[in-house]
Structure 1
Amino acid sequence: MDLLESLNIPVLVAPMAGGPSTPALVNAAAAAGTIGFLAGGTQTLEQFKQDLSQVTAPFGVNLFQPQLEEPDPADLARLSQILAPEFEKFDLVQPSVSPDLTNGWAEKFEAALAAQPAVMSATFGCFSAAEFQQLHERNIAAWVTVTNPEDALIAQDAGADALVVQGPKAGGHRSTWSITEEPDSRSLAELLQAVRNAGVKIPLIAAGGIMNAADVRGALQAGAVAVSCGSAFLLCDEAGTSTFNRWLLAQATVLDLESVSSRAFSGRFARGVATQFARDNEGLPPLYPYLNKMITPLREAAAGVGNWEYAYCLVGSGVQGIGSGSAKRILMSLAPSALR
């Protein structure tokens, strides 16, 4: 039976890099009859291998494709100037960083192959022909995250088994294949239709701003065979969401929080809680992954005194509607059958 046809619930637990995705969350999804994803994109190889050793089948793995572009040195110098007075407020020394633009792809890909997931998905790009072959030889489904019809066609023709079509309301990073690319602004339903109209025949998984059963039903009616939800699980018991971000999201209504899409979170377009820093720096150029690493000490110092001006809380639209409880409870609430 096809993986997507075997799901008890047409709702997948999306990969959420940076901590929220845990083996416990992935295992809870499997126990409920669906698939959860380990988010290996920003993890160290050691952390990733440890998580792989703790999951039970079936499970998915998501990795970040290597980045082929270096930010402009002049843009990095300008960023240092912007951050300097902010660091001074907390008596901090601004760090010098040298990020790994490969995201450890090759080593993590091999580790994932050995763990035999049910599915492996790629973000920020597409698997190579050799990688598709390796996945298919091991009966591992190969999915690719896309944000426009053009990339969808490329991924289908390259050998993808299914596509995760990510709309503009998605929390976390928008999976454009270039840091300089302006993301497609069409709604998720419009993107699903555009991808189909472009000639894509393989299954589509909808992602982005899906927070309740009505959203799930709408995505399925728009042509998706399943949906991928991340933000809806940020406050669940099994998620590894940081204590500070849990507090911030729990106060969403009181603080009148909303999410925005901006390069001011990490240097490439991502959607997260609209902080003062994000609002003040909406026009930042592509600086991924330098920005996130350069500003981390500042974020940690500010969070330590309850200041969320620089917070890194990536979340989709509908931030005030995130529920808590077990992953199973949230999954059941998202199922279209929950609608009366």
Structure 2
Amino acid sequence: MAELSAIVEWVKGSTKEEARPNAEITRVSAMEDAERDAAVFALDENALKTAIASRAGLILANSRLNHPDRAVTDERVVWVRDARYGFAVLAQKLAEGSFRAEIHSTAMVGEEVEIGPDTSIGPGVVLGERVKIGRACRIDARVTIYPGAVLGDEVIVQSGAVLGSAGFGYAASPETGEYVLFPQQGRLVIEDRVEIGANTTIDRGALGETRIGYGTKIDNLVHIGHNCRIGRNVVIAAQTGISGSSVVEDGAVLGGQVGIGEHATVGAGVILGGGAGVLSGKKMQGAGRVFWGRPARPLKEYLRDLARLRRGGDPRA
């Protein structure tokens, strides 16, 4: 439950001076389901009209909709720079009140494990020896964290994820062709505020480390190979696979089912469309540039190739 004054501070918003100081909000909601205890959000004029007509107790609206020539008088409106972002912040703050920090009785905790305060360890979790987990983390049911892995503060790991497993690296005998596992004795470091989806797997380093940077969000069913370095505030959608020793720099966005070969680099702010394929050793650079296709190439080039194929022409022409 939160009062209006607290909500305005959380979302860095502004209200009419006469707005009710004691409005109490307990949840966020879709507009059609909203009641007086719920908050909704509006990104455009039509959404704002719908929100005002709803029963919601609070409306987060983009400040660009607050036109002096047609002022909104509804006292429930809180003006924010980005209503969608503010709505997400509010939802997170409201959820904090229901969070329970505990270690479930069925969790298996190895020797020399360090668990920070206000951290929740779910049922069936396995924590290997010397694992370190920071404060206010949430480790959901049946997560496995291999020995030596390090998690920072406020990390969320959803059910079934496997962190710090051995990487897929082998050396072949020149005489027989037999494969022998190359040493996989490095570590995995997950920095603060990273979120990892269900059934995602992240390998430890071979001799060095695999590192996931601050604030990165990883969807379900993603695989990240050994010695990868993922930067800060990266977004990786479901079924993406990143081969060993690849680098994804700060702020990059990877769509669903992206495939990245080994020793490749995805530059800061680069966007890879769903299903894009990055060849081993390739470097994709340019903040804000969109790459698509297999192999991935700039969006305009990819669309031009598609048009040629539709006309029956040679895409290499």
Structure index of larger Rg: 2
Question: TM (normalized to structure 2)?
Answer: 0.22
Q: Which has the higher helix share?
A: 1
Q: Which has the higher strand share?
A: 2
Question: TM (normalized to structure 1)?
Answer: 0.21
Q: Which has the higher contact order (CA 8 A, sep 6+)?
A: 1
